Structure 1
Amino acid sequence: MAKKAQPKRDIYQEVTDRILQLLDEGVAPWRQPIKRSGNSDGMPKSLSTGKAYRGINTFLLAITSWAKNYESSYWATFNQVKQQNAKVRKGEKSTLVVFWKRYTKEDRETGEEQNIPVLRHYNVFNAMQCEDLKTPDLLPDEEPAEPFAPIAQAERIVDGYPKPPAIELGGNAACYLPALDMVQIAPPERFESRESYYATLFHELAHSTGHKSRLARELGEKVSPFGSPDYSKEELVAELGSAFLAAAAGISPPTIEQSASYIEGWRRKLKDDKKLVIQAAGQGQRAADHIRGVTFEAE
């Protein structure tokens, strides 16, 4: 008697089901997989005082560091840089820092003294914008990083991407730049594990499939503010695409909980719409298939 053919394994559905299960069970907060250099904790600090900035300045400097891919947490004025026998690189632009200064003024009508807060500002430069400027978080690590050992199957997926975006290694973050069709990602040895590196790279490559020359998800063609529904949907697509590629590379177990945690954050922004995860899974599968160079019906 002939053996009954076993149904083909649907790895995409397995990954989707596992993520949904983890979301229902509750997951740990998502962690940044890139290790910071030196003793940096990522909080913007004044080089002159060593103290962390507060209030709106924390946001202003942190978002600039993220956008410009600065590795250092330290900032200094032009004169403070000069005092350190260093210099700001030609053409570098400063970032605004604001503070309240109180002045005592006499009230014209009552003659009483008033304490009036006045908003002041000054401009600072990140240490990465300077030459010869030494900061605690840019000093060499005491222990050299272990040599990175590529995962063969993951490398084959990356190398097999038809007409891929450019991939540039550097900095301490990861992002896809639609206007340049380029993925920027920290060097692999900066990640907590090989699996984290490939999962992050797969995430950004999944974003790149949204380019108009590929699957045309209007990526970069319209403004989608951080946290908006369109932004959140694209993040779901990219992370699910990454989860599918990680499964295809055989590194799913070490990365899937991280993916679930990340996805949960965006799902909350979308009012816990579980259906949206399923819908995004379809686009995530198309992204993964495109990177692997297979037709959408082949798997």
Structure 2
Amino acid sequence: AQVRKGEKGTLIQYWKFTEEKIKRDANGKPVIGADGKKVKQTTKLDKPRAFSASVFNAEQIDGLPELKKVEPRWDRHERAEKILAASAANISHDQEDRAFYSPSTDKIHLPTKEQFPTADNYYAVALHELGHWTGHPSRLDRDLTGSFGSEKYAKEELRAEISSLMVGDELGIGHDPSNHAAYVNSWIKVLQDDPKEILRAARDAEAIKDYILSSEQKKTATVQASAKKEPPVSSVDEAAQRLAGSFKNPADAERFIAAVNKNVAQRVQHHYHDQEEELER
């Protein structure tokens, strides 16, 4: 692949927060791994380093293989729905053509799902508003006092928009910038007045994304933890009775019930499945 002659690149800045180095022993010699190669380790830099580079769009390059999109192996809409549910945000589908988050009532307002052209579009908008929702004082506590058209409003929208890009990429639902094109001029003014605002906005957007996705992870962890708890005595007894009813030998059934009752009485902290396997052995 080769950049086409005459094309102009776009200058970007990127940051390095870690550095990969050769691992060394107490004598300063490189550590050799089992594969015979030098072992490398990643260390966190005391101060991040900034770099600049010129990048080119694929349309400016000849000979580049066509991009093949890989479809997610999971249902992206199902995961997006789970994230919204796990957040426990108060969401009302009571709007005709508006979507917004109200800080005063801590409530997200959306049109009905049927009013959106695609499911991807619905979830992108819903998760964008969920981004604003994270700014509540009880969550990430951002300044949400700005009125429409103000500098504060533009800064908050910039954070929500960047987080939408991140979450949309994570879930595979994409991102539609046309929904927030009205804010572009105010963003340009904010960044012209303070170019470093984009760095602060990206930092906050990363925190928004992490907060949104963490609600899903916490919900999963809670479900898994609940599954590991010892079943109530009544549930154990009921399950034991059902299993005992399938035994051909009545004496085996009687011994089985007695063993279960003994374990419960001793408060052995095991799943009933583990108790069953132990008794079978």
TM-score bracket for the superposition, by shorter chain length: 0.3 to 0.5
Give the greater-gyration-radius structure (CA).
Answer: 2
Q: TM-score with structure 2 length normalisation? A: 0.46
RCO comparison, higher one (Cα < 8 Å, 6+): 1
Q: TM-score with structure 1 length normalisation? A: 0.44
